[in-house]
Structure 1
Amino acid sequence: MINAKKPKIWYGGDYNPDQWDSSIWDEDLRMFKLAGIDVVTLNVFAWAKNQPDENTYDFGWLDTMMDKLHEDGIGVCLATSTAAHPAWMARKYPDVLQVDFYGRKRKFGGRHNSCPNSPTYRKYAVRMAEKLAERYKDHPALLIWHINNEYGGAGNCYCDNCETAFREWAKARYGSLDEVNRAWNTGFWGHTFHSWEDIVLPSGLSEEWTGANGRTETNFQGISLDYMRFHSDSLLECYKLEYEAVKKHTPSIPVTTNLMGAFKKLDYHKWAKHMDVVSWDNYPRFDTPHSYTGMMHDLMRGLKHGQPFMLMEQTPSQQNWQPYNSLKRPGVMRLWSYQAAARGADTILFFQLRRSIGACEKYHGAVIEHVGHEHTRVFRECAALGQELGQLGDTLLDANVQAKVALLFDWENWWAVEMSSGPSIDLRYVDEVHKYYDALYRLGISVDVVGVDADFSRYDLVIAPVMYMVKAGIADKLEKYVHGGGSLITTFFSGIVDENDLVKTGGYPGELRKLLGIWAEEIDALLPSQRNRIVLSDQAPGLKSEYECGILCDLIHSEGAEVKAVYGNDFYRGMPVLTVNKFGAGQAWYVATSPEASFLQDWLSQLCSSIGIHPLINDMPVGVETTLRSKEGQSYLFVLNHNENPVNIKLGERAGVELLSGRTLDGEQEELAGRDVWIIKQKP
């Protein structure tokens, strides 16, 4: 339990008193009390203030604020401030400055503006982390360490230091140039390397370019894939150095860094192994599907195999970097906060507590608006939520989300899918994963979003959309899972390559061919204006006779799998599009195309029911979300109404005491107000 020193759902967020005159600090603290704020994140971007030159460190302001917060009963999430190096460092040590995709050396500016392989940056970042740990190791306000901030939020670096480090990384991964040449298929276009010094970074000066769709295109997927791994590892090494620096002095204080959901540049499965607790920043747009936000929460929870996570940032009202920065309507901030809690968050924290008056985040929402007092709609809503979280106390802390379905999400697979030279510009990995998640979300079926290293035996159903890359040992793991009685779904463009993006010869879907009982002979790419049809062989209850599909269509032959549906159009009309293969005690499904949403909802409803997976509430109204968290034999049902208007819900056997109102809800029809939430303590 990260909340052991303050046993409740932490409530608060980023506070930047270093940007303000000290004369307003006490007024801010007064309003924090009114809002029920009990945890504050400090020092996120204060490196330049704390270290005005190479040899001077001044933490006077931070000493004062740490003491003031503790006196007011507020704990501190203390950041190491290393997400933006000081100007003096860039002037004196230019190796800290990044080189961009086209070989141009950056000047000082922005944030995340440091080369991760700069010896200077690493030296001073670690020194800063250690000085903070030495100074505050015994401070009673210190609750958790926050290393850096939103790693990877700027461009990648292509400097000489990174190029040298990339060669060393490749040596460690492959051991020899012969193995590098094999893994990267350098015989293509005469790229064979005979010296380590021949290897250069893939960039706009070598193998890569920016395509018409904004994606990075590459001549050599193997090289570019390894650069993505290397870049993620380089930043992770920076994090680990700071982690070790603070742990040396505060071994019992947990350490985190804030992640960003489906952030493409960093392999969060690898990062999570080095984090005591996962934290992340949730910034949906006004029109982001609620299911997508739910999937991101579940992805963050899945990084540490179901361990509760921290919601490190969200806005109380509006954002400022999107094309259209709409206000959160009344009740939405509270509702979305409880959506995070419903899916495993044990903290509700904001960016930011007081609005800045200048620069690019001055119009980003805050608990304390520019008017500077508590008489605002946003403050009133924040204070009401703070009171409710205080009322809940430690009831939900460390409760686990219960799910029988696992949805696989793999960063390296994502990179490989979207670096592929074809077959379709419209194939987007996260979108395809979300299609399956959204269908289950609408059905009210809970999902764990996990990596390929997860324990599949915990689940009745495992779904692996677009499993293009099959890493070593994964095919065997899936075979064992299905043979033991599990159900597997995978889809088109799966089983194509290994972890080096080398095609597995012998027919698609490669190592999955025996498990799935099919052979995919060709892959057709449909234009956006083109659609095909899924025609069911036998119309099961709840399913229509046919549905639309698009993007890609695998032309498959059964090699023992039962054909459940065929294509309705084109020269491959009548060929299988949906198959199931009995394998041991289990079954392996293959969906050979990207179906319309209604097919996935109808089919998954029928399939889940057949294997004993059922919604938490039957006949749930559209726009209502449900999850279940449990601990110590007690379960808590969350019911969230994302609709503006009230809905009627029949709880049935899910009746119980609603914790926020204290009302007893029976199993009959109950009205849930628009944008409202129930947290129902279930009857034993």
Structure 2
Amino acid sequence: MKSREKKQVTRVNTLLHGGDYNPDQWLNRPDILADDLKLMKLAHTNTYSIGIFAWSALEPEEGVYTFDWLDTIFETIHQNGGTIILATPSGARPAWLSQKYPEVLRTNELRLKHLQGARHNHCFSSPVYREKTQHINRLLAERYGNHPALLMWHVSNEYSGECHCDLCQVAFKEWLKETYNNDLAALNEAWWGPFWSHTFNSWSQIQSPSPIGEDAVHGMNLDWRRFITDQTINFYQNELVPLRELTPTIPVTTNFMADTDDLIPYQGLDYGKFAKHVDVITWDGYPAWHNDRESTADLAMKVGFIDDLYRSLKQQPFLLLESTPSAVSWHEVNKAKRPQMHLLSSMQMIAHGSDSIMYFQWRKSRGSSEKFHGAVVDHDNSPENRVFKDVAEVGKILESLSAIAGTTRPADVAILYDWENNWALNDAQGYGAKTKNYTQTVQEHYRTFWEKDIPVDVIMKDQDFSSYKLVVIPMLYLLSLETLSRLKEFVAHGGTVVSTYLTGIVDEHDLAHLGGWPKDLQDIFGINVVETDTLYPSDYNKVRYGEKEYELKEYASIVEVKQAEIKGEYLEDFYAHTPAITSHSFEKGKSYFIGGRLERSFHSDFYGEIIKELRLTPVLSVRHEKGVSVQARQSETEDTIFVMNFSEETQVVYFDQPVWDRLNEVELVGEVMLEKYAVKVVTVPLEDNSQ
């Protein structure tokens, strides 16, 4: 194994606390703006994202600029001891721009032109919009680039969506020509053109996917999604030109998202690719705490997964750029955080690698769609309500923990996640239409490590595998020969890999691998996957593994053993008593294959054995029951460990060695009571924390 190289980290020298501040909504209320400065002190906040949707306040008419209000805000926040994350305003256009230059409006997949309104509805290919956004960005950089309050650039906001206008059709064709080296025959091969007579003999014949045209060519659909990511990045890079030129030492970011209904990473863009173009990963986290679909611990596991994914994208701390101190306004049910949940959920973010707790929004808007969205300052303008006090408590604690800013933690376990794989698998017209659930499946493989307090990196397919002891690749349906070669090298040099059903089915163009399961996979796992069975919800099967039987649902790989050891077998159907779970020693390493989708208890038992075999250990041994999570950050001198109760009852935890309770300034050892939603933050010197 290679030793883990030290990563270059873009450091924030303290933990940030604050959020989206919209003084442009209150320019006619100087009393409100004055109150803000007082309340910022009381809330223990220090950083504010400003200007995100302020274009019409900065340029109310074309070429007419009103920066005086922003000048004042910069000065007053600076004098108040705060710093500013300054946004470029491209996320929402002023009406005059759409009226004069209608080419900036998006066209949807039905080829209908959007109207002015809402936000994030502009064409990324539009030369006019690129020129206008770059110009306003240059003015901002010239005016505020040297201001001591400027901490970071917040470029646009939550990039998303796609455009199918004529400009984007031209851009798509140019992207394809570059991707396929101007070789139309290569494109036809990659898209399997002869199917349904879809061979192109001119680039001009190609149009973006549409339900009123072509949307069943899977290679085209995959390339279109790749183009959307690249075109969005290209637009973002156009915004960066004056920022990099005039403020080369100021870091830049743009905020990533998560789909909140089931809390999975946003799927509209490949953030693995986008991450290479930002200095700091930031994301907007809005878990639906206290929902009636899942336990608090189940939701906390998903939050941990996304945190670990976004931290792993650059192997450095991330920033939580938006969250809510209470409720939001756009869930189906907008439930308030219960007492203690705001502190607990904030500490979870810090524990998994965030260097900030930032909110949308600082002050509730008086009107429009977000007037009831949670905020630090409510319509009552009072520091005495419960939510404001919760925020102030978090602020005080973040001040006491500021030394951990910039720290992270090493991991011996990596779980591979791939946006392109999810796009391709969801597009596949086979298996179960509603049961593929790639991201949810990856989260289930992550769960056991989270529950057992084992640090995990959630990595991309092009990241280095060599420093990990274990790499888990669930459902890697889309598998290129390049990725496969790197996995084979990882195992050959002593690594352990776990894979599952629906892995290695298609290549990077979404073309099926010919000749059966790829030979390198057969070598690594010592098996050949010859068939995949898809089950109805009413179908019944089980797998015997060790001394236990586990329920099988939805998918089962029918496996032919070549050299592998059979660890488990199916018990029902025509493949009864055939291999379901296998292991295989390949050169210096080892592989495991899980043939079917099995119940949660199987993962706990299976990965529990691997954890013992590979001697994977938590940063600190804390004995506890399910519902408690223990996560750590490591500096050069000590571990800071977060012991968090994500259950609705008091839990007993046991510290096997003395630790220092940072929040209460006392030593803890042995049995400690952890109340509902409570958190302990403890430290241990590194030399005292050997496992």
Q: TM-score, normalised by structure 2?
A: 0.94
SS in 2 for 1:457: coil
Residues 57-79 of structure 1, C-alpha deviation per residue, up to 9 Å, x if partnerless? 22111111111100101100100
Aligned-partner Cα distance in 2 for 1:342–1:531: 41
Q: Is the counterpart of residue 553 in structure 1 residue 556 in structure 2?
A: yes
Residues 303-344 of structure 1, C-alpha deviation per residue, up to 9 Å, x if partnerless? 10x200101011010011110111000111111111010000
Aligned-partner Cα distance in 2 for 1:517–1:56: 69
Give 2:16's aligned residue: 10
User: Which of 436-445 and 483-492 deviates more?
Assistant: 436-445
Counterpart selection for 2:309 from 299, 309, 313: 299
Aligned-partner Cα distance in 2 for 1:618–1:488: 27
Aligned-partner Cα distance in 1 for 2:283–2:654: 34
Counterpart selection for 1:490 from 499, 521, 542: 499
Q: Is the counterpart of residue 566 in structure 1 residue 569 in structure 2?
A: yes
Give 1:644's aligned residue: 648
Give 1:677's aligned residue: 679
Give 1:200's aligned residue: 207
Counterpart selection for 1:187 from 187, 191, 194: 194
Aligned-partner Cα distance in 1 for 2:322–2:539: 41
Q: Is the counterpart of residue 630 in structure 1 residue 638 in structure 2?
A: no
CA shift for structure 1 position 391: 2.0
Q: Is the counterpart of residue 403 in structure 1 residue 411 in structure 2?
A: yes
1:191-590 matched pairs, under 5 angstroms: 191-208=198-215, 219-261=216-258, 262-286=265-289, 287=291, 289-304=299-314, 306-393=315-402, 395-425=403-433, 426-509=435-518, 511-536=520-545, 538-539=546-547, 545-590=548-593
1:652-663 matched pairs, under 5 angstroms: 652-653=656-657, 655-663=658-666
CA shift for structure 1 position 243: 1.9
Q: Is the counterpart of residue 594 in structure 1 residue 604 in structure 2?
A: no
CA shift for structure 1 position 411: 0.7
User: Which of 435-444 and 76-85 deviates more?
Assistant: 435-444
User: Which of 435-444 and 581-590 deviates more?
Assistant: 435-444
Determine if contact 1:207/1:220 at 8 Å carries over to the other structure. Answer: yes
CA shift for structure 1 position 165: 0.5
Determine if contact 2:488/2:520 at 8 Å carries over to the other structure. Answer: no
SS in 2 for 1:473: helix
CA shift for structure 1 position 475: 1.2
Specify whether residues 398 and 531 from structure 1 end up closer, same or farther in structure 2 by C-alpha distance, changes over 3 A only: farther
SS in 1 for 2:466: helix
Specify whether residues 56 and 531 from structure 1 end up closer, same or farther in structure 2 by C-alpha distance, changes over 3 A only: farther
Residues 594-627 of structure 1, C-alpha deviation per residue, up to 9 Å, x if partnerless? 1101100111111111111134435422111111
CA shift for structure 1 position 85: 1.3
Give 2:156's aligned residue: 148
Give aligned pairs, total. Answer: 660
Aligned-partner Cα distance in 1 for 2:518–2:331: 40
Q: TM-score, normalised by structure 1?
A: 0.95
SS in 2 for 1:108: coil
Give 1:86's aligned residue: 94
CA shift for structure 1 position 359: 1.1
SS in 1 for 2:404: coil
Aligned-partner Cα distance in 2 for 1:424–1:512: 24
User: Which of 558-567 and 526-535 deviates more?
Assistant: 526-535
Give 2:130's aligned residue: 122
Determine if contact 1:144/1:256 at 8 Å carries over to the other structure. Answer: yes
CA shift for structure 1 position 242: 1.4
User: Which of 475-484 and 525-534 deviates more?
Assistant: 525-534
SS in 2 for 1:385: helix
Give 2:3's aligned residue: none
Specify whether residues 509 and 322 from structure 1 end up closer, same or farther in structure 2 by C-alpha distance, changes over 3 A only: farther
Give 2:4's aligned residue: none
Q: Is the counterpart of residue 163 in structure 1 residue 166 in structure 2?
A: no
Counterpart selection for 1:95 from 99, 103, 116: 103
Aligned-partner Cα distance in 2 for 1:670–1:204: 59
CA shift for structure 1 position 53: 2.2
Residues 417-455 of structure 1, C-alpha deviation per residue, up to 9 Å, x if partnerless? 111111111111111101101122122222111111222
Specify whether residues 476 and 3 from structure 1 end up closer, same or farther in structure 2 by C-alpha distance, changes over 3 A only: closer
SS in 2 for 1:70: helix
Residues 94-140 of structure 1, C-alpha deviation per residue, up to 9 Å, x if partnerless? 11111112111111011001011111111111111111111101111
Determine if contact 2:492/2:588 at 8 Å carries over to the other structure. Answer: yes
Determine if contact 1:257/1:275 at 8 Å carries over to the other structure. Answer: yes
Percentage identity across aligned positions?
A: 38
Aligned-partner Cα distance in 1 for 2:312–2:594: 25
Q: Which amino acid aligns with 1:657?
A: W
Q: Which amino acid aligns with 1:181?
A: N
Determine if contact 1:3/1:9 at 8 Å carries over to the other structure. Answer: no
Aligned-partner Cα distance in 1 for 2:329–2:19: 17
Q: Which amino acid aligns with 2:175?
A: W
Q: Where does structure 2 lack aligned partners over 5 or more consecutive residues?
A: 1-8, 259-264
User: Which of 547-556 and 395-404 deviates more?
Assistant: 395-404
Q: Which amino acid aligns with 1:26?
A: A
SS in 2 for 1:652: strand
Aligned-partner Cα distance in 2 for 1:453–1:633: 32
Specify whether residues 189 and 320 from structure 1 end up closer, same or farther in structure 2 by C-alpha distance, changes over 3 A only: same
CA shift for structure 1 position 592: 1.0
Residues 439-497 of structure 1, C-alpha deviation per residue, up to 9 Å, x if partnerless? 22122222111111222121111000101111241111111111111110011000111
Counterpart selection for 2:25 from 19, 26, 33: 19
1:609-628 matched pairs, under 5 angstroms: 609-615=612-618, 616-617=620-621, 619-628=623-632
Determine if contact 1:656/1:680 at 8 Å carries over to the other structure. Answer: yes
Aligned-partner Cα distance in 2 for 1:278–1:521: 41
User: Which of 513-522 and 162-171 deviates more?
Assistant: 513-522
Aligned-partner Cα distance in 1 for 2:425–2:244: 38
Counterpart selection for 2:68 from 60, 64, 82: 60
SS in 2 for 1:458: coil
CA shift for structure 1 position 392: 2.2
Give 2:185's aligned residue: 178
CA shift for structure 1 position 3: 5.3
